[in-house]
Every structure is written in C-alpha cells, then in structure tokens.
A and B are shown apart, each in its own frame.
Chain A
Amino acid sequence: MRSFWKTIVAILRELADENAYARFLHAEGAVASKETWRRFSDHRLKAKYSRARCC
C-alpha cells in the first residue's frame, strides 16, 4: 500500500514537472531558487508547448 501511494505521488510530481526540476537541479549541481526555476521552466515549457496536443 505504501509503495502504491509512493507511486501515485511520484506520478503527480512528474505531471507537475517537480521531478524534472529535481533532475535539473541534480544535473546542474544547482540549488532551488527563483533563477534556477525560471531557467528550468523556460526551457521545459518551450519544448512542451511546441508539440501538438492530443484531442
């Protein structure tokens, strides 16, 4: 049951891009801040919204 909830939370965090942000911080060796979030989200959202969305 605990692992089920862990997976649900991980899915929600992935959908919320929070996991991707954590990976970004890890890869860049940076700490969470307004500046790093902007850098991450600008790159992430640019890629995300240049692809066709499903109907």
Chain B
Amino acid sequence: MPKLLSRVLWGVIAITGALCLGGIATYRGESINSIWLILAAVCVYLIAFRFYAHFIAAKVMLLDNLRATPAERLRDGHDYEPTNKWIVFGHHFAAIAGPGPLVGPTLAAQFGYLPGTLWIILGCVLGGAVQDFVILFCSMRRNGKSVGQMAREEIGKVGGFVALITVLMIMIILLAVTGLVVVNALKGSPWGTFTIAATMPIAVLMGLYLRFWRPGKVLEVSAIGFVLILLSIFGGEWVSKSESLAPMFTYSGIAIAVMLIVFGFTASALPVWLLLAPRDYLSTFVKLGVVLMLALGILAVRPELQLPAFSRFADGTGPIFAGKIFPFCFITIACGAISGFHSLISSGTTPKLIAREWHAWPVGYGSMLLEGFVAIMAMIAACALQPGVYFAVNSPAGIVGATPAAATATISAWGYAVTPDQMSALAAEVGEQTLFSRTGGAPSLALGMAHIFAKFGGEKILGFWYHFAIMFEALFILTVIDAGTRVGRFMLQDLLGHIYKPLGRTGWMPGVLLTSALVVCGWGYFLYNGVNDPLGGINSLWPLFGIANQLLAAIALCVATTILIKMHGAKFMWVTCLPLSWLIVVTFTAGWQKIFSDSPKIGFLAAADALARGAQTASTSTLIFNNRLDAAVCGTFLVLVAVILVDSIRVWIGLLDGSKPSVLSEAPFVLTQLKPEQV
C-alpha cells in the first residue's frame, strides 16, 4: 500500500477510535448505541496491534524470521510441528477463550458500562495482550518451556515452586466458581437441567463412535453431536412442560452442587476418550460458533445499552459484589483484559506450533485482542438488558429479598424500575419458573444473548435461544471442571510424590483416587459453601478468583520482566513493568480490602465478626468459619506472590548493578531451513 494512503487510513482509524472513546466517556444521556463501544474497541485494538505490538516485536523481542523455531528444530509430528499462522491463531484463541471473558464483564456491568469497557479496551492492549505475547516469545525461544519452568530457570527455585502452588490453589477456586455459575443457572430449571444432563450420554456416544466406529472422524462426530444437542434443547422444553417429567429434572442448588461434585470425581477417573475429549471437541466448536453468531448478531441489531455509563453502585454498595470500581472492577474482569491463565497456554502447545518467529505477533497479541472483543460483546449483551431486569436476575435474595414483591420493591427503590409481573412474564417467555436471584452472570448473559438472537426469529423463540446460551456456557464450564480436576490431580501428585514416591505415579490407582478425591473435595467445599452463602456465593468467590488469576498474571510478568532485563538491561523493562505494577497495586488493594475491610459486605474478617455478634445457629458457625477460610486463602495468595515479587526484584537489582551475570537460557540460533511455501 502506498505510504500516503496507509498514513491516511491509520489516521482515519485513530480519529474514529478517539471520537468513539471520547463519545462513550463523556455521553450521559438515557441510552447509547452499542456500535460506539464496538468501534472504539476495534479502532484501539487495530492501532495497538499495528503500532504498539509491532514495536514490541521489532525493538523489544527482536523477532527474527531467519531463526528456526522449536516447531522446526524439534519437529516430531506430535507436539512440535511448523503450522500455518492462522491455524495456530485459531488454535490459540480457542484455548484461551473460556467462560471468564463472558461472565466477568456481565458481573462488572453492575458499575455501568463505562468502567468495564474502558478496562477491557486499555487493559487488553497494555496488559493482557502484552503478557500473552511476551510469554509466547519467551517460551518459543526456550523450546516451548512452561511458565513454571521459566520461573525456575530465570528467577530461581523459589519462584518455580511458588508458581506451582499458586496455580494449584487458583485451579481449586476456579473450579468452585465456575461450578457455582452452572449451579445458579440450572437450579429449579428442568429445561436447562435436562439439556445439560443430555450432553453426558451424547458425549459418551461420540466417544464410542470415534473409538470404535469411525476412528479419526472428529468433525463428522462433532456435527452429529451438535445436532443431538440441538434436539436436546427442544427435548428440554418438552420435559419442562410435562407434569410427570419436569419434577424429575427440577433440583435445588445444593442438589445440583452435589451432582456436580460427584460428576467431577467420576469424570476425572474415566478414560479421557470416553467423555472429556468428545465433549471438549464439541464445546470448542460450539464456543467459536456462538462467539461468531454473537458478533454478527450485535453488528446486525446494534442494541441500545440500557444500563447507564455509571450506575449508583460505583460507590461500592453493589448487590452483585461489594466494593468500589477501584479495585474491584479490575479484578472482576480478568480474562477479557488480562488473565494469568493465558500465560499457561502461551507457554504450552502454541509455542511448539509457531513456524516463523513473527507469527507470534498475530497469534500472541492478536488472539488476546479478539478475546477482549468477546468481552466487549458480553458487556453489550448484559447492558442491553433493562437495568431492573439485570439487577433482579443478578442480585442475591439475601440482599434484595426472597419474594418477587420484596425484590422488585428494593430494586425499584434503587431507581431501576421493575415489576413482579414483568419478571414473571419474562420467565414464562424463556420457559423458567423464576429468574429472580439467578446470580453468577450466566443467566443474565443468556437473557441478553437471547434477546439479540431472537430479533431474527421473533420473541416466540426467546426460550430456545436462552437455553441454547445456557447450554453453550454450561457445556464448556463442565469441560473446564472435568479437565481442571484432572490437571489439579496431576499437580497434586507431582507435589505429593516428593513425600511418598508412589503418590507421584499417575498410573497407580490408589494415588489417582486419593488425589482426585482431594482436588474434588477442595473445590467442592468452596462450591457447596458458595451455594449456601446467603449473599449468593459470587460475592466472595468471584473476587477471590479474580485476585488469584491476576496474581498468576503478575508471576508471568515477573518472569517476562526478568528476561527483558537480561536482554536489554533497564531499557525496555517498562513494557512488562507497567502492567505488572498496575496488577500488583490492584490485586494487593483488593486482597487487603477483602481480608481487612471494616464493611462486612467486603471484608471476610468483618463479615465473620458481624456473624459472631448476631444470633448463633449451626449455619452461623459454618459461615463464620468459611469467611475466615476465605480470608486465609486470600492472604496466602498475597504472600505467595509477594515472595515471587521480592525474589524477582532481588534478581533484577543484581542484573542491573552487574552483581549477577546476565545469562539468557535461550536455545542457540539455528538458521531456518523452511521454505516460504512450507509455512
């Protein structure tokens, strides 16, 4: 493209982005069209990709297409294989996109659309995408080593060990909180429960089909599985209307939590080809399809945002989770802006598939921008709901009241009008008995998505789209639970193997059962207590998960900063230190407030004290213990990351004053032999 035309084009994108950002930041009218958010995000992401990420690639990482990547040098036809960059892009995006970028923005919408949107746009560009990109680069230059291995080699043994413990603890909280999202979506919902229950035999059928009848035909069996799942959604409607069948699929939150715990244990002990793998294939395709559908739907419908730029809960009195915008908006939206878990993917399969070093630019940075765009779409879907409906669905009964009349009166008194008739009509439209206090984000996101999709088929099929969205969310959350329990077991076996050797053997059945049970008991305990929590569980578990996930990102950024200092001294350390400093400030503030805040709605210890001062029952003492346990878990996260941070700073000072040798543990340069047509 001629230079002048290119400059004009980028100038237009920059001006459009600035106008849209300025527009959404200053507009305070009744509603705003979602296209403003989309244009602001797209323009900022394009500019960040073209200029900031290019600068990091060219000047900071010194990417070199002549250097053979591990995919070429260690090519084995299994894990290491030079692959087309768009295929790696699709693979990497599918791996990083989970429930987080959908649920986080939905919950953070309680502050209004503006804080979360700005954080998704800026956090993604300056933090999340930088982390994913730099860690992918570091791993690629080290034969595809994991972030834990790099922490051990670049920072020291303490860093590596602490990283392992932190990941294990985060897994426990992640599995509990995602389990809670599913429980709150399915409790008292025969339609949803039937549909999700049907995914189990469908997945097993797919597994058997793939193993015995048509080996290797994954796309074929996934298409069959998808058709069966669509049929199960129609079947769910029929079941929900049947007087004899509906009670068989109607369960309380506790009952669904127990089923989920039993499922987690059983599924993690089954062979992966039977249930986990086929459902994982299916959930990956459904996830990508729904993301595409949502993008097209939002572009076609361009819904007006009904929630204001700032809601009255910017002051920290929110019903969904308590706490002010700073720091809680920034830990609630994790995966859509910056997620520590991405560093595990960027140092997992992806670096072993990159054919040319410059492919890391679209794969590492670009995939995260796309994930940020998914988060923007989730924010739009949530904010397109009427505010009264949004708060009625997401507010726990312990705050707004247990009856429809009490809940609508409380929410209307906040200035967000809603009536019991309106809520019961909406529940009837989507085939649910009630939509009150369905905390967790999934039901309100499903409602928002259903309203967008239903524009193309009329309100009559709102129920189908609502349950389609619930199925889509539950499908990949169940996969996360199944696979996460398995991974947690491996990590625990790795640790316990140091104490008693047979426990470290993944083929020793007593060890497998014991460690599986320990992991399931770990997340099951938090899930069970989350379901019993009068404030809905999300109030305590989601911030804990957000803090933990962001702290994992802090560990990854410590590793990345150490490597950048070894490469350039202090010159470019700001690239990773900027997001690292922000994360440390945000997460330590949030962690401190969650432990020590005087407000019982925010601080775990204050909540325990308030309960101790009230009337004592059997459940009160459990709640007191749980709050103190949550405080201890939060404190442990902070201590673990403080250890890594202090250890890293000690290493950085040594490297910068020359008392420590600056040794890069990169694989040596080998000239690539790949021809252009091979990549």
A interface residues (Cβ-Cβ under 8 A, vs B): 7, 10-21, 23-24, 26-28, 32-34, 36-38, 40-55
Q: Are B77 and A23 in contact (CB under 8 A)?
A: yes
Q: Are A38 and B87 in contact (CB under 8 A)?
A: no
Partner of B219, one of A12, A27, A38: A12
28 A-B pairs with CB atoms under 8 Å apart are A7-B87, A10-B84, A11-B86, A11-B87, A11-B91, A13-B219, A14-B90, A15-B94, A15-B281, A15-B288, A16-B218, A18-B218, A19-B83, A23-B81, A26-B77, A33-B215, A40-B216, A41-B210, A48-B277, A49-B272, A50-B486, A51-B487, A52-B171, A53-B341, A54-B97, A54-B339, A55-B335, A55-B549
Partner of A24, one of B77, B86, B167, B549: B77
Residues of A within 8 A of B86 (CB): 7, 10-11
Contact of A14 with B341 at beta-carbon distance under 8 Å, contacts A49-B483, A51-B349 already known: no
- The answer, yes or no, to whether B284 is at the interface (CB within 8 Å) is yes
Q: Are B90 and A52 in contact (CB under 8 A)?
A: no
- The answer, yes or no, to whether B448 is at the interface (CB within 8 Å) is no
Contact of A46 with B98 at beta-carbon distance under 8 Å, contacts A11-B91, A54-B339, A54-B342 already known: no
Q: Are A15 and B90 in contact (CB under 8 A)?
A: yes
- The answer, yes or no, to whether B39 is at the interface (CB within 8 Å) is no
Partner of A32, one of B215, B288, B349: B215
Residues of A within 8 A of B98 (CB): 53-55
Residues of A within 8 A of B487 (CB): 49-53
Bound CA span A21–B216, Å: 7
* Nearest CB in chain A to that of B490: its residue: A50
Contact with A along B532-551 (1 / 0, CB 8 A): 00000000000001000100
A13, A34, A51 — most chain B CB neighbours (10 Å): A51
Contact of A15 with B215 at beta-carbon distance under 8 Å, contacts A49-B272, A49-B486, A52-B341 already known: no
- The answer, yes or no, to whether B461 is at the interface (CB within 8 Å) is no
Bound CA span A43–B86, Å: 25
B interface residues (Cβ-Cβ under 8 A, vs A): 76-79, 81, 83-84, 86-87, 89-91, 94-100, 167, 171, 174, 178, 210-212, 215-219, 222, 272-273, 276-277, 281, 284-285, 288, 334-335, 339, 341-342, 344-345, 348-349, 479-480, 483-484, 486-487, 490, 545, 549
Residues of B within 8 A of A13 (CB): 219
Bound CA span A16–B87, Å: 12
Q: Are A32 and B216 in contact (CB under 8 A)?
A: yes
B89, B216, B222, B344 — most chain A CB neighbours (10 Å): B216
Give chain B nearest CB distance to A50 CB in angstroms: 5
* Nearest CB in chain A to that of B353: its residue: A14
Q: A16-B222, A21-B216 are in contact. List 4 more A-B contacts (CB 8 A).
A: A34-B211, A48-B349, A54-B339, A55-B100
Give chain A nearest CB distance to B64 CB in angstroms: 25
Residues of B within 8 A of A15 (CB): 90-91, 94, 281, 284-285, 288
Q: Are B167 and A45 in contact (CB under 8 A)?
A: no
* Nearest CB in chain A to that of B215: its residue: A37
Bound CA span A31–B89, Å: 29
Give chain A nearest CB distance to B105 CB in angstroms: 14
Give chain B nearest CB distance to A7 CB in angstroms: 5
Residues of B within 8 A of A32 (CB): 215-216
Bound CA span A12–B87, Å: 8
Q: Are A52 and B219 in contact (CB under 8 A)?
A: no
Contact of A46 with B272 at beta-carbon distance under 8 Å, contacts A11-B86, A15-B90 already known: yes
Residues of B within 8 A of A51 (CB): 344, 348-349, 487
* Nearest CB in chain A to that of B104: its residue: A55
Q: Are B344 and A52 in contact (CB under 8 A)?
A: yes
Residues of B within 8 A of A55 (CB): 98-100, 174, 178, 334-335, 339, 341, 480, 545, 549
Bound CA span A18–B220, Å: 11
Residues of A within 8 A of B95 (CB): 53-54
Give chain B nearest CB distance to A52 CB in angstroms: 5
Q: Are B90 and A43 in contact (CB under 8 A)?
A: no
Bound CA span A9–B277, Å: 20
Give chain B nearest CB distance to A25 CB in angstroms: 9
Residues of A within 8 A of B284 (CB): 15
Closest CB pairs A-B (n = 7)? A27-B77, A37-B215, A11-B90, A16-B218, A55-B100, A45-B272, A54-B341
Give chain A nearest CB distance to B400 CB in angstroms: 28
* Nearest CB in chain B to that of A10: its residue: B87
Bound CA span A41–B447, Å: 38
Q: Are A53 and B483 in contact (CB under 8 A)?
A: yes
Bound CA span A50–B211, Å: 21
Bound CA span A50–B393, Å: 37
Residues of B within 8 A of A19 (CB): 83, 87
Bound CA span A20–B334, Å: 32
Q: Are B77 and A47 in contact (CB under 8 A)?
A: no
Bound CA span A45–B482, Å: 13
Give chain A nearest CB distance to B175 CB in angstroms: 9
Residues of B within 8 A of A23 (CB): 77-78, 81
* Nearest CB in chain B to that of A27: its residue: B77
* Nearest CB in chain A to that of B342: its residue: A54
Give chain A nearest CB distance to B529 CB in angstroms: 20
Q: Are B281 and A54 in contact (CB under 8 A)?
A: no
Residues of B within 8 A of A24 (CB): 77-78
Contact of A54 with B215 at beta-carbon distance under 8 Å, contacts A24-B77, A41-B273, A49-B487 already known: no
Bound CA span A28–B77, Å: 9
Residues of A within 8 A of B335 (CB): 54-55
Give chain A nearest CB distance to B73 CB in angstroms: 16
Q: Are A14 and B77 in contact (CB under 8 A)?
A: no
Bound CA span A46–B334, Å: 29
Give chain B nearest CB distance to A11 CB in angstroms: 4
Residues of B within 8 A of A41 (CB): 210, 273, 277
* Nearest CB in chain B to that of A46: its residue: B272
Residues of A within 8 A of B281 (CB): 15-17
Residues of A within 8 A of B545 (CB): 55
Bound CA span A14–B94, Å: 11
